[in-house]
């Protein structure tokens, strides 16, 4: 367990962990050969399914990642076996280079990257490093940013979400002993500090850059939040966790200060909703749409900030969020394959559904509180 926790917090963490473990010991076997995104009537869907699935989905590394978090904590082979099954399915993506974008970070850092780090598998290392090379190749040296997507008209777009994908580049720098990967990652983080974070600490989801002039913003396209000048809560949480991770990997103080600034904004907002994040903090008050995933991601970032700064207030706020999620949105029933309900894809689509990364970050946060030293990022 982390230090400075009250008796009631320790019981919350231990009881939540026991419920998570009891459930995942069953679902890991039940959904071993699937790659879930959400559930339908309580049953995991399957993005690896050749007919009905979409193997290129950006979220397809989270089921492996969740199982690797469980493996790191329990050393139970069943979790590793499930992660390896996902890893094999994901090899299909390597056959189609046109379907690979910045999300290769989410896809392979959490699957093959984690498998390599916990088992030493060379094959997995090659997968993760191939993905890192693909990510690095997306750097636009004229505009000085990583191109995130390939869709026509989006060549100059950057999104705050990519702060999570660049962790794969820090990993590659260490493995190749080659600073170029880290340099590209830091250019992205520097750009995100400058162009995605507003003065009040709120975060802009999408920024459009000039393709051939460095560091030049040309617009703010609509992203997954209410509007370009609103504040999509998951984007805010990607910033909190993404910047603190960049600080951990580089030691650059400004990243930590930016993580704190964006965290303070998230906390101030989420308190107004009894610690349950709404999809957009700057949207009209009605209707109320929640996004449980934003809370789980932000909690992970807050715990890392608390560990680094020794400011226990961030730990308290992380636990407040996790308790609210546990009480209102978690399901430990075996009749429902998902753990965390009430995620939302965006302000206008996929509202109030379980999404696999909600489960991943909820478990990651509880394991951090439990004292796990495995940082999957
Ligand atoms: N990275 C896309 C999302 O957070 O929905």
Burial class (CB within 10 angstroms; exposed 0-12, middle 13-18, buried 19+) of 366: buried
- Among residues 294, 273, 276, which one has the least CA distance to residue 346? 294
CA of 238 to the centre of ligand 1 (A): 9
345 CA → ligand 1 middle, Å? 7
Closest CA to 353 of 301, 270, 289: 289
- pLDDT, tens only, 201-216: 999 999 999 999 999 9
Q: Are 187 and 241 in contact (CB under 8 A)?
A: no
pLDDT tens for each residue of 328-346: 999 999 999 999 999 999 9
Collect all residues with Cβ–Cβ distance below 8 Å to 177 and sequence separation of at least 6. none
Cα(103) to centroid(ligand 1), Å: 9
Work out which ligand 1 atom sits closest to the CA atom of 224. 5
On whether the CB atoms of residues 185 and 149 are closer than 8 A, the answer is no
Q: Which is the closest atom of ligand 1 to the Cα of 106?
A: 1
Supply the pLDDT for residue 110: 98
Q: Ligand 1 centroid to 161 CA: how many Å?
A: 6
- Res. 1: pLDDT tops 90: no
Mutation test residue for ligand 1: of 110, 148, 224, the one with most atoms within 8 Å of CB: 224
The minimum-distance atom of ligand 1 relative to the CA of 234 is 4
Atom 5 (ligand 1) nearest CA: 345
Report the alpha-carbon distance of residue 192 to residue 201 in Å, rounded: 12
Ligand 1 mean position, distance from CA 165 (Å): 11
Radius of gyration in angstroms for the set of CA atoms belonging to the chain, rounded to a whole number: 19
- Ligand 1, atom nearest to 293 Cα: 4
Find out whether the beta carbon of 234 lies less than 6 Å from any atom of ligand 1.
yes
Q: Are 96 and 104 in contact (CB under 8 A)?
A: no
Is the CB–ligand 1 distance for residue 293 below 6 Å? Answer: no
Tens digit of each residue's pLDDT (9 = 90 or more) over 269-316: 999 999 999 999 999 999 999 999 999 999 999 999 999 999 999 999
Q: What is the pLDDT of residue 168?
A: 98
- Ligand 1 proximity of 161 Cβ (cutoff 6 Å): yes
Residue of 336, 330, 328 lying closest to 362 (CA atoms): 330
Binding site membership of 224 for ligand 1 (Cβ less than 6 Å): yes
Q: Which CATH class is domain 2-370?
A: mainly alpha
Average pLDDT, the chain: 98
pTM summary value: 0.98
Give the pLDDT confidence of 73-113 residue by residue, as tens digits.
999 999 999 999 999 999 999 999 999 999 999 999 999 99
pLDDT category, 45, cuts 50, 70, 90?
very high
């Amino acid at each position: 367990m982390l230090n400075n926790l009250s008796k009631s917090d320790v019981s919350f963490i231990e009881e939540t962990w026991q419920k998570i473990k009891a459930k995942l010991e069953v679902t890991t076997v039940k959904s071993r050969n699937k790659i879930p995104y959400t559930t339908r009537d309580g049953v995991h869907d399957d993005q690896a399914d050749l007919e009905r699935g979409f193997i290129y989905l950006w979220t397809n590394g989270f089921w492996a990642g969740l199982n690797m978090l469980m493996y790191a904590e329990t050393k139970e082979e069943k979790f590793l076996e499930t992660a390896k099954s996902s890893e094999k399915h994901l090899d299909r993506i390597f056959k189609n280079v046109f379907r690979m974008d910045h999300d290769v970070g989410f896809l392979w850092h959490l699957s093959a990257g984690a498998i390599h780090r916990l088992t030493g598998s060379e094959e997995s290392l090659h997968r993760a490093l191939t993905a890192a090379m693909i990510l690095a190749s997306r750097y636009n040296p004229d505009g000085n940013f990583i191109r995130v997507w390939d869709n026509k008209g989006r060549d100059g777009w950057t999104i705050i979400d990519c702060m999570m994908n660049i962790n794969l580049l820090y990993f590659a720098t260490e493995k190749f002993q080659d600073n170029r990967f880290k340099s590209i990652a830091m250019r992205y983080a520097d750009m995100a500090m400058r162009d995605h974070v507003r003065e009040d600490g709120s975060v802009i989801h999408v920024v459009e850059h000039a393709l051939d002039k460095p560091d030049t913003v040309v617009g703010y396209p609509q992203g997954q939040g209410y509007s370009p000048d609103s504040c999509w809560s998951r984007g805010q949480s990607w910033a909190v966790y993404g910047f603190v991770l960049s600080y951990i990997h580089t030691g650059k103080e400004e990243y930590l200060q930016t993580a704190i600034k964006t965290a303070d904004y998230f906390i101030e907002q989420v308190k107004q909703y009894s610690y349950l994040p709404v999809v957009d903090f700057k949207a009209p008050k009605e209707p109320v749409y929640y996004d449980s995933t934003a809370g789980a991601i932000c909690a992970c970032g807050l715990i890392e900030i608390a560990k680094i700064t020794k400011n226990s207030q961030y730990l308290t706020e992380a636990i407040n969020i996790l308790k609210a999620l546990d009480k209102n949105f978690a399901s430990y029933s075996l009749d429902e394959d998902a753990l965390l309900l009430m995620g939302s894809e965006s302000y206008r689509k996929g509202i109030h559904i379980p999404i696999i990364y909600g489960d991943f970050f909820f478990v990651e946060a509880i394991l951090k509180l439990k004292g796990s030293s495995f940082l999957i990022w």
